[in-house]
Amino acid sequence: VIVADQRLVADALEAVLIRQPGMVVVANLRSVAESALRVAELNPDVVILDFRENDEVAAAAVQAICQPNSGIKMVFLASDERENITLAAIDAGACAVLYLSMDSAELIHAVRFVADGGSLISPQTIAALLIGRRKSDGVRETLTSREMETLNLIALGKSNRATASAMVICYTTVRCRVRNVAVKLSA
């Protein structure tokens, strides 16, 4: 099953995969949001899911699809190589993260490998990412509640002045907190 919102990508994947001996694309789904129900009905061997960082709809679909006893193997398809996407794949129990930049021969090999029970996320990659996550989680825990509040407002796109106004503090205090957060997070 291919699940991708971008039709050109989904159709290209299907065109490549259906030409391979022993491969059948049982569905080419347009909506990540509706994919969980359809995938459960189809019960495929492999699901290739278009996954974007911070995509809560896709994350919910992955959790619904990857039930412990389903036997469905999940492959994330991403446009760029980011650690957060690989971490999301690991959290979801995906067997691989494939990138739009890879050639078709690699894609075919990856799908066959995953279908046969393999994983393209190496134990070394998993260990390195989890160690990095533990370190960053530990650093985040050193932020004060006001630093976290400042960081959250900035993450929402608020300027330093708007953050100061929302927190009812001085603009220079916000700048100082931003510097502190940057130092603590090595950003």
Q: 74-85, pLDDT tens digit by residue?
A: 898 888 777 777
Is residue 29 exposed (0-12), middle (13-18) or buried (19+ Cβ within 10 Å)?
Answer: buried
pLDDT tens digits along 147-182 = 889 988 988 888 889 999 999 999 889 998 888 888
| From 11-15, 111-115, 134-138, the region with the lowest mean pLDDT | 134-138
Q: What is the mean pLDDT of the chain?
A: 84
HEC per residue, 131-171: HHHHHHHHHHHCCCHHHHHHHHHHHCCCCHHHHHHHHCCCH
Residues β-bridged to residue 10: none
Tell whether the model's pLDDT for residue 34 goes beyond 90.
no
| pLDDT above 80 (res 58) | no
35's tokens: 């994919």
Are 20 and 108 contacting, i.e. CB atoms less than 8 angstroms apart?
Answer: yes
- Quick one: which of 166, 130, 138, 132 has its CA closest to 151? 166
In contact, 97 and 126? CB cutoff 8 Å = no
Q: Look up residue 173 and give its amino acid.
A: T
pLDDT beyond 80 at 26? yes
| CA proximity to 177, closest of 164, 186, 165 | 164
pTM score, whole prediction: 0.66
| pLDDT exceeds cutoff 70 at 123 | yes
pLDDT at 68: 63
The answer on pLDDT for 23 being more than 90 is yes
Q: How confident is the model at residue 13 (pLDDT cuts 50, 70, 90)?
A: very high
Which stretches within the chain are classed as H helix? 7-17, 32-42, 56-65, 83-92, 104-115, 123-141, 145-155, 160-167, 171-184
| Structural tokens at position 91 | 């959290």
Dihedral over Cα of 23, 27, 4, 38: its sign: negative
